[in-house]
Amino acid sequence: MTGDTPFSWRRALVTGGAGFLGSHLCEQLLDSGVEVDCADNLACGRRENIAQLQDRPGFRYVHGDVCDPECAERLPGPYDLVLHFACPASPTDYLRMPLQTLDVGSLGTRNALTIAERDGARFLLASTSEVYGDPLVHPQHEGYWGNVNPVGPRSVYDESKRFAEALVTAHAGTHGTDAGIVRLFNTYGPRMRAHDGRAVPTFICQALAGEPLTVTGDGSQTRSLCFVDDTVDGILRVAASKSVRPVNIGGSDEITMADLARRVVALTGSRSPIAFVDRPVDDPGRRRPDTTLARELLGWSPQVPWEEGLKQTIAYFAARPPEPVPRPEDMAPQS
């Protein structure tokens, strides 16, 4: 540690850095005195997410695909930290780009690992609660192997991340790469895309527009929400540790989708009704992380109350021009 910088890293690479979560990571690293290269092909990310960073010293945006075999040449580094966050993460995106999703979990992860190995950097893979599938164990701890349908409609995302975890583990064992894995549960906050198929932005935009909030099934399925500031804090704590084990980072506020819709209606002051639509295939019934490891290893726990997090997210969308609302059957806000 040097000066006021809480981390020892000098320069970081964030793949998928123009995405929702990646852009927050870039910003936090810059605020902490770390130079950042943000690599993104904008398949899901947006330039506006990093617009406020473009003129800051130490920030560089590199347009490119981490699956490109020549990406290492375009990202010469050297880096102390490689955060691999490139991947379609919303249902709308990974169902629209199934092969690209599988590629970024395999080819993209391998290329990012090669860069980390080249520079002797700490590597961290952004994995997901989706590796647990529709869990038979609740809450989900890191030792649970999951209940995943490998050929279902969600499998391109689930299996991409499961393969990426196996690849990181094999790379670390074979080459001694300083690599870790963080499994993220349902992060939300400003910079999410309005209609990407995830529940929080979908419900908020519907409520602000006075449209019915489309809840899938009977709304009894649960998720555990974590505000983006808390998630970023957890990610960087895992990165700063030397943990080689997967670590869950997620919220303790387990809530049904019907209750989440009601919270959004109340906080927006909307008169929107709740409409129930068909539930997607293989939609997990319950989702809540066991974060004992993160608490004991890293001293991490979520700090932002759900009401404050939702208010900040609502304010973000309320300040933006409304976007066209897709048909309810195309939205499937289950994640």
Catalytic residues: 157
Residue with tokens 């899901």: 44
CA distance 202 to 199: 5
What is the spatial distance between Cα 98 and Cα 185, in angstroms, rounded to a whole number? 21
Which two tokens mark 252?
Answer: 């303790």
CA-based end-to-end distance of the chain: 38
Instruction: Say how far apart CA 89 and CA 198 lie, in whole Å.
Output: 9
Structure tokens at 141: 């701890």
CA dist 318 → 190, 191, 315 (Å): 11, 12, 5
- The CB-based long-range contact list for 92-100 (8 Å cut-off, 24+ gap) reads 92/195, 92/196, 92/197, 92/330, 92/331, 92/332, 93/43, 93/44, 93/196, 93/197, 94/154, 94/156, 94/157, 94/160, 95/153, 95/156, 95/197, 97/43, 98/156, 99/156, 100/43, 100/67
Amino acid at 109: T
Residue 55, token pair as written in the block: 């003129």
Under the phi-then-psi rule, with left for phi > 0, alpha for psi from -120 to 50, and beta for the rest, what region is 282? left
CA angle 132, 137, 141 (to 5 degrees): 65
- Phi/psi of residue 35, nearest 5 degrees: -70, 145
